[in-house]
A and B are shown apart, each in its own frame.
Chain A
Amino acid sequence: MKVLVPVKRVIDYNVKVRVKADGSGVDLANVKMSMNPFDEIAVEEAIRLKEKGLAEEIVVVSIGVKQAQETLRTALAMGADRAILIVAADDVHTDIEPLAVAKLLAAVVKEEAPGLVLAGKQAIDNDMNATGQMLAALLGWSQATFASSLDIAGDKARVTREVDGGLQTIEVAMPTVVTVDLRLNEPRYASLPNIMKAKKKPLEEKTAADYGVDVTPRLTVVKTTEPAGRKAGVKVGSVDELIAKLKDEAGVI
């Protein structure tokens, strides 16, 4: 079985995000970028499937700016076999919307014919949580989202999903799209020999036009703002004053 893992280059989760002065989005100039953490979990799961003998080849694909090469090399260093980069933007600030990404991935799936697509449940930059679902719909495949465990047996995949208030276990028919959640695994560190090998693994570069997909945005960003800062508190002089404030001003008692 071949496993396809889409990976996105996003702002590093350690970076304090700053909004651009004109409110058009987040400032990404010279900011540290890394692989979306959920995608890292998906790559790790694919490698584990390969180590268990359930997968033969892992293909990682990224869609975005040319610098996403680095993200793909990271996945190759972890243990993916080859990479496809679909260059669809020149500017790091251009985000490709989920539907366009899903269409491109669907085109890649048609070419590569994987038995499984393992994706992050969402990217930590825009938190859309839509691409995996859209991809399953476009392909007419089953889908299992928010996976916290995955067992593949023959033509079925048993997936435990993290849902509100508990866990749900479902069985889906293969081929399928699985989107992974935080607790599925803990991604490995790439070893030095694998980082060196990753340099020589194939990385194919394509464009959105090669797949005949229009990536023009359909959504308009009206504005982006930072969360309001915490307001200064007040010191109360007595318990009575506190109770009065909770009652009259806060209205909580």
Chain B
Amino acid sequence: MPSYTAPVKDMQFLLHDLLNVTATGVAGYEDLDEGFTGAVLEEAGKVASAVLAPLNASGDREGCVLENGVVRTPKGFKEAFEAMKDGGWTALDCDPDYGGQGLPYLMGTAVGEIFVSANMAFNMYQGLTHGAYSAIHTHGTDAQKVMYLPKLVNCDWTGTMNLTEPHCGTDLGMMRTKAEPQADGSYLITGQKIFISAGEHDLAENIIHLVLAKAPGGGEGTKGISLFIVPKFLVKEDGNPGARNAVSCGKIEEKMGIHGNATCVMNYDGATGWLLGDLHKGMRAMFTMMNEARMGVGLQGYAVAEAAYQNAVAYAKDRLQGRAVTGAQNADGPADPLIVHPDIRRNLMDQKSFVEGARALTFWGAHMIDRSHREGDAAAEGLISLMTPVIKGFQTDKGFEMAVAAQQVYGGHGYIEEWGMSQFARDARITQIYEGANGIQALDLVGRKLAQDGGKHVMAFFEMVKAECKAHDGDDRMTGFVEPLKAASKQLQAAGMYFMQHGMKNPNAALSGSYDFMHLMGHVCLGLMWTRMAKAAHLALEAGKGDKAFYETKIATGRYYMARHLPACAMHLARIETGAETVMALPAEAF
């Protein structure tokens, strides 16, 4: 069975060598000294390894069961959920006014990665609750905050987000779920929502559904949509759950992965709901959840790959097959371990260099969110808004690819269920689909984010990369980093230029290249992170700080990424520059 150990050392490197958190001046970061973050990450790691990881494979096998309208989660989930609540982990970055611990989003991200790697399906119950918490915290009235937030913070109650209906997912303008205003200010919600993660389960005493629905007078399309709070049990005046609301789970879906999480069809049959945020401005409120969820899914992408990678390494060191081409390295044994073979190395280096790069980008993104929320830094907010589709789309595509690569190390043993490697691939697959399929992320990036605020944010990104290259110009230690980054950045700019020149007169030309652009930008982002990490590692080495082998490994891993992953940028640009011609050449009937 797979095992998991939290990569505390790498996380500490990112927090203290790369981001140098205590020196950033961001409010709340002054408490994040090395000893404290180490203690938090170590303890989260213990809970993850001992409590969550052992339930990953069993939860996958067992799945969730719907009986008489009640969903039973896999054995052990309830106890593990209580352990997470008792440990205060669910409240980590929540508002202290509502019982939260008030730590920065960055710490929530680091700890979140640990829990997701250990058991992604399990962690979703808490993850969705956090999304509901954020939406109510941002858009709720004071009374709503008092009623719901403390319970969501400690996960006594959990949350869901309800967007999709049987006939509409991405195109929410076609939504049918109705909200009828009542005399007491509440609404009656009627309709069916599907694919609702954690829609029904036995882990919490109440479930707070956030439901998009159309209230009268809002006009056509997404403009008519409002967001409603629909609790499973109506909340009594004393704050406790009371009568059952007219919302029920009709079915749970059979699906490829994340079996431990209940994916529900939710039926609203005149259920009582209350408006959250402004009437007919539901999309805006939902996007508070959505943006957070997209960052979270981008994290899931590499977090699952990390867990798969750890096991692939262990297997590659343990499994004896064949002899090293340069001569036996385990002469006393019947064969050498897999890890001596160059192609296995390539595979492991692909995984390692991606995971560590993605972790750096995600932590950096979380830092931008803190800058935006805690310091009102508009530039940081612009950058993270630009990068969210890249973090979501690129990291989940690559995360799945790497989970498959880890599975590949096991050969046939990766394909059978016994070793648990198939689960990582199956679980990772959903990350490319939910919270906006990756094609939609690419569309968001190219169609919306590039031009946002007159292209200001993408220009700021280009400047950031340029400044990084310039800072290391002529620095011998940084050979192998600066040149590839510079080249990739130029290719990204050329792709952007192509869109500007062709996009207006032929939008198909831009959108035919949007997916490649998302990947091209993903590589530039990781190249940027690796360049920064290499520099940080060099500085630490020169200062004689800590573990020499760790920093040297870091630099060598970065060199691999620059040498072996960044060449993909040229390919992506070449594809983009062919425009729509070959993509759209066939009439639909020809397929």
1/0 contact string of A18-37 vs chain B (CB within 8 Å)? 00000000000010000000
A192 close to chain B: CB less than 8 A: yes
CB proximity to A under 8 Å, residues B22-66: 31, 35-36, 38-40, 43, 46-47, 51
Stretch at the interface among A69-77, A107-115, A132-140, A217-225: A69-77
B547 close to chain A: CB less than 8 A: yes
A60 close to chain B: CB less than 8 A: no
A195 close to chain B: CB less than 8 A: yes
1/0 contact string of B11-31 vs chain A (CB within 8 Å)? 000000000000000000001
B544 close to chain A: CB less than 8 A: no
Whether A192 and B89, one on each chain, are in contact in the complex, defined by CB atoms closer than 8 angstroms, is yes
Known: A189-B47, A192-B88. A30 touches B39 (CB 8 A): no
B97 close to chain A: CB less than 8 A: no
A243 close to chain B: CB less than 8 A: no
In the assembled complex, the Cα of A69 lies from the Cα of B43 at a distance in Å of 16
| A contact residues around B88 at 8 Å (CB) | 191-194
Shortest beta-carbon distance from A101 to chain B in Å? 24
CB proximity to A under 8 Å, residues B1-15: 5
| A contact residues around B36 at 8 Å (CB) | 195, 199
A190 close to chain B: CB less than 8 A: yes
| A contact residues around B234 at 8 Å (CB) | none
Whether A189 and B83, one on each chain, are in contact in the complex, defined by CB atoms closer than 8 angstroms, is yes
| B contact residues around A198 at 8 Å (CB) | 39
| B contact residues around A195 at 8 Å (CB) | 36, 39-40, 43
Whether A69 and B35, one on each chain, are in contact in the complex, defined by CB atoms closer than 8 angstroms, is yes
- Complex partner residue of A191 from B5, B86, B332, B547, CB under 8 angstroms: B86
Whether B35 and A73, one on each chain, are in contact in the complex, defined by CB atoms closer than 8 angstroms, is yes
| A contact residues around B39 at 8 Å (CB) | 70, 73-74, 77, 190, 195, 198
Q: How many A-B residue pairs have CB under 8 A?
A: 48
In the assembled complex, the Cα of A73 lies from the Cα of B43 at a distance in Å of 12
1/0 contact string of B308-334 vs chain A (CB within 8 Å)? 000000000000000000000000100
- Complex partner residue of B92 from A30, A73, A192, A232, CB under 8 angstroms: A192
Whether B40 and A30, one on each chain, are in contact in the complex, defined by CB atoms closer than 8 angstroms, is no
In the assembled complex, the Cα of A221 lies from the Cα of B53 at a distance in Å of 41
Known: A70-B38, A70-B39, A195-B40. A189 touches B550 (CB 8 A): no
Residue of A nearest to B83 (CB): A189
Known: A73-B35, A192-B88, A192-B91. A30 touches B43 (CB 8 A): no
Residue of A nearest to B99 (CB): A193
B452 close to chain A: CB less than 8 A: no
Interface residue count on the B side (C-beta < 8 Å): 26
A interface SS class: helix
In the assembled complex, the Cα of A69 lies from the Cα of B38 at a distance in Å of 12
A196 close to chain B: CB less than 8 A: yes
| A contact residues around B103 at 8 Å (CB) | 196
Residue of A nearest to B46 (CB): A189
B411 close to chain A: CB less than 8 A: no
Whether B87 and A189, one on each chain, are in contact in the complex, defined by CB atoms closer than 8 angstroms, is yes
Whether B35 and A192, one on each chain, are in contact in the complex, defined by CB atoms closer than 8 angstroms, is no
| B contact residues around A191 at 8 Å (CB) | 86-88
| A contact residues around B87 at 8 Å (CB) | 189-192
Shortest beta-carbon distance from A91 to chain B in Å? 16
| A contact residues around B5 at 8 Å (CB) | 14
Residue of B nearest to A194 (CB): B88
List residues of A whose CB falls within 8 A of some B CB: 14, 30, 69-70, 73-74, 77, 189-196, 198-199, 232
Q: A189-B87, A194-B88 are in contact. List 8 more A-B contacts (CB 8 A).
A: A77-B43, A190-B39, A191-B88, A192-B43, A192-B88, A195-B39, A199-B31, A232-B332
List residues of B whose CB falls within 8 A of some A CB: 5, 31, 35-36, 38-40, 43, 46-47, 51, 83, 86-89, 91-92, 101, 103, 332, 546-550
The 8 closest A-B pairs by CB, nearest first: A192-B88, A30-B547, A191-B87, A193-B88, A191-B88, A190-B43, A195-B39, A189-B47
List 27 interface pairs A-B (beta carbons < 8 Å), by A numbering.
A14-B5, A30-B546, A30-B547, A30-B549, A69-B35, A70-B35, A70-B38, A70-B39, A73-B39, A189-B43, A189-B51, A190-B43, A190-B87, A191-B86, A191-B88, A192-B43, A192-B87, A192-B88, A192-B91, A192-B92, A192-B101, A193-B88, A193-B101, A195-B36, A195-B39, A195-B43, A198-B39
